[in-house]
Structure 1
């Protein structure tokens, strides 16, 4: 009898634990989606402008499409990788500063990132100016290299918008104010589609019309962000331009470089594979088909990058607060949510592969090649749901240097050689290159899982505190308070 009573008394306790776990998961999910959803919308909208531009150019001519594909997949990814990576230092510092309540430092970190990124982009400008020579040096066909050289000049105003859009997004995201970016990105995309139709289809401006529409819509996003920040909607984190932005630049550069290397090694991986495809038989078809697949893949990746941002913010905020247990729990919920989304989108790519190809080209040979790659595309889309989240965890903790080493080994010492061997040695062509890419991503995903599992998060809390104290500058209120007390 006593045993039965004891068992009955245990039931409510188990249920309470289950309810408590459900409420914790629900609360954490709300925190994640609060950051992830606006991040997903903004990234999908911004990247969507590139995809829409490619779609319009693809209906102009196969040569224009191949030239645009080369520049967007290689040069733009090369420069964007550096800028995105270096900007992720802003994400780390702003996220941890917000968690620690050091709000005024966020505006200073933002200005420092503008200085570092603007100088970096200006140094890299010759890559765009001498685009034709660059692709000729890499051994591309002269007609494709010449067209790519024309396209690369049009991309210069576009990439300068990256300096501001990337860093401002991370700055606002860290303080949970990125709904604005989502709305502006939606308007940007809505503006870009009819603008592209007007310039390319109605006025028949061709390639210059498509690129002009891209430039206008990209700067529309940046000006909207400027109005929000300078207009007083970030009173605690934006105190105006400050000379303090020029102080402690070198430690920021060091963190930015490790961040840049981490992302670059990832984004350049796909660019290297497109280059490999360019040396195969029927290069124009190979580049165009591979680029279309990478754009579909990249568009879905933007959704996963929303979770990368959420992972970074959640980890950085909790480390700033000194809560290691919350970091561990957040990682589990993030990975589970992202994997479910990955399963959904990989299924769409597998079942609707023919329709996807027809959106980007009228060329039957290119469309057939895209359709043939659909199985590999769906696998890649699923893998997208794992490694970006774990990369975001690393960025939030400031572990970019470690992930850079992982990316170097998995992508370039494992994935690329396998892709070259299968593409050329076995004769699988573009499909072999893609299988090599998947092998590299699988190795990276497994390594990052082990890294996240074995990281001592209590130790990371201490490191985050030391980092914030090293960069900390007193606000005007604190300075005045100290003067009055003296």
Structure 2
């Protein structure tokens, strides 16, 4: 018993060493966007609405796809680190830069034609025009994401995460200062806000790249190589699976918001859902930290051919995140009538939001488990399987049930959220069953094969003893 307790403590410390700074980094980088919205809000209602739509719909779309494409590195880099084959990491990252860069180029027309696209979705012409201008100015941020995510996964796989947190913190302070100077004092308006956002994201990349080439990764980074252009097909396949898996989850919540907007009295219904989603987002940051941590731990241990250690990492990460989620759920249930008051003074909106408190608590608890299990899937390389599970649970169960409960049974936002929750619950149960029925020895063998084949033959180094 003492041995198990000691082992659990050591694994918990290892998990928190990764999850803690990842949580902080996610919060700090998300705050960059919040600061931009805050300064835009002081320019006027039109500017606030335009930037909110630009960030929530257009930039969120590009951000999600590129984050998903970059997540392929969590599988390959993590397993290569576990196998001690650090020389592969730089090649993997450069391949991911190529793939993400091309993806950003493909997504550029979405930024260029934001205005007519929003008008097709029956958005206000004034808002669409301003949002279109902002997204065109913000195109450099799209390519900043393409460079940022592969760098982050490269660092995470080697548990070099505190530097990312420090960089994000410093850049956030610079971001606030630059917005104050150029948007508020010098009066450059939305153009200034977009340019400051571009500068801030590229400052993050510049600082991370300087850290990369400063000699801290003598094995993993040996400079640029043409080998990055070879054997891209398998890498693209895994990147696409990762992107589809992640985007299906992000678009699920977007679809819920759109459905709620079709209800009668949409201002109140959308307002109530939006308040709840804000609380859910901040709670989700913790689970995403454990998502990254368990992805790194599982991929490292499978790459090192330690299947029992991989399974133990899953148990510790899931149980820790679930415990934190339980605490958050209790807080929400107890304070469900008070939490809306941080966002609104309108009695009707407070009342409608309070009704959703029970569902918010349950959603926060489920979302303390589900993202961690998704991290296990990324670490083990199950992205394609989880993508199919997401399609079935979210789009064939959750959304149709939400439509029936919300529109047919007249339960409004409450009914739509119930449908969403059923889909999330079903997905979580399936992932729990798959995870705990997994034959981890087989997964370790697959990891070895993945390093050899999916990464491409070019990285395999000759054996110094045999010359082969």
TM-score (normalizing by structure 1):
0.87
**Could you say which residue in structure 2 is the equivalent of 1:140?**
123
Query: Per-residue deviation at 1:81?
Result: 2.1
Query: Per-residue deviation at 1:187?
Result: 1.8
Tell me which moved more, 285-294 or 136-145.
285-294
- 2-structure distance, mates of 1:144, 1:383: 35
Q: Within the alignment, does 1:228 sit opposite 2:211 as a pair?
A: yes
**Could you say which residue in structure 1 is the equivalent of 2:280?**
297
Tell me which moved more, 246-255 or 368-377.
368-377
Q: Report the CA distance shift for 1:54/1:104 in structure 2 as closer, same or farther (over 3 A).
A: same
**Could you say which residue in structure 1 is the equivalent of 2:424?**
441
Query: Per-residue deviation at 1:152?
Result: 3.0
Which of 306, 319, 332 is residue 315 of structure 2 equivalent to? 332
List per-residue Cα deviations over 1:239-280 (Å, max 9, x = no partner): 100010001101100111111111110111112222223334
Tell me which moved more, 264-273 or 387-396.
264-273
Tell me which moved more, 297-306 or 102-111.
297-306
**Could you say which residue in structure 2 is the equivalent of 1:399?**
382
- 2-structure distance, mates of 1:357, 1:446: 30
- 2-structure distance, mates of 1:438, 1:110: 36
1:232 is paired with a residue of what secondary structure?
coil
1:25-44 mapped onto 2 (5 Å cutoff): 25-44=8-27
Q: Report the CA distance shift for 1:153/1:376 in structure 2 as closer, same or farther (over 3 A).
A: farther
Query: Per-residue deviation at 1:226?
Result: 0.7
Cα RMSD after superposing both structures = 2.9
**Could you say which residue in structure 2 is the equivalent of 1:248?**
231
1:7-86 mapped onto 2 (5 Å cutoff): 18-58=1-41, 60-86=43-69
List per-residue Cα deviations over 1:415-434 (Å, max 9, x = no partner): 11122233333334434333
Structure with greater helix percent: 1
Q: Within the alignment, does 1:114 sit opposite 2:114 as a pair?
A: no
Equivalent pair of 2:40/2:190 in contact (CA under 8 Å): yes
- 1-structure distance, mates of 2:336, 2:185: 29
Q: Report the CA distance shift for 1:255/1:474 in structure 2 as closer, same or farther (over 3 A).
A: closer
Q: Within the alignment, does 1:419 sit opposite 2:396 as a pair?
A: no
Q: Within the alignment, does 1:178 sit opposite 2:161 as a pair?
A: yes
1:191-270 mapped onto 2 (5 Å cutoff): 191-203=174-186, 205-270=188-253
1:231 is paired with a residue of what secondary structure?
coil
- 1-structure distance, mates of 2:268, 2:48: 10
Query: Per-residue deviation at 1:196?
Result: 3.8
Equivalent pair of 1:51/1:295 in contact (CA under 8 Å): no
Query: Per-residue deviation at 1:441?
Result: 1.3
Query: Per-residue deviation at 1:165?
Result: 1.6
Q: Report the CA distance shift for 1:131/1:303 in structure 2 as closer, same or farther (over 3 A).
A: same
Equivalent pair of 1:48/1:299 in contact (CA under 8 Å): no
- 1-structure distance, mates of 2:342, 2:195: 21
1:420 is paired with a residue of what secondary structure?
helix
Equivalent pair of 2:101/2:147 in contact (CA under 8 Å): no
Query: Per-residue deviation at 1:177?
Result: 1.0
2:214 is paired with a residue of what secondary structure?
helix
Q: Report the CA distance shift for 1:295/1:51 in structure 2 as closer, same or farther (over 3 A).
A: farther
2:84 is paired with a residue of what secondary structure?
coil
List per-residue Cα deviations over 1:48-86 (Å, max 9, x = no partner): 222333344455545444433333333233222221111
Which of 137, 148, 152 is residue 165 of structure 1 equivalent to? 148
- 2-structure distance, mates of 1:233, 1:407: 39
Tell me which moved more, 425-434 or 405-414.
425-434
Equivalent pair of 1:342/1:385 in contact (CA under 8 Å): yes
2:248 is paired with a residue of what secondary structure?
helix
**Could you say which residue in structure 1 is the equivalent of 2:442?**
459
Equivalent pair of 2:138/2:195 in contact (CA under 8 Å): no
- 1-structure distance, mates of 2:106, 2:30: 24
**Could you say which residue in structure 1 is the equivalent of 2:76?**
93
- How many pairs does the alignment contain? 467
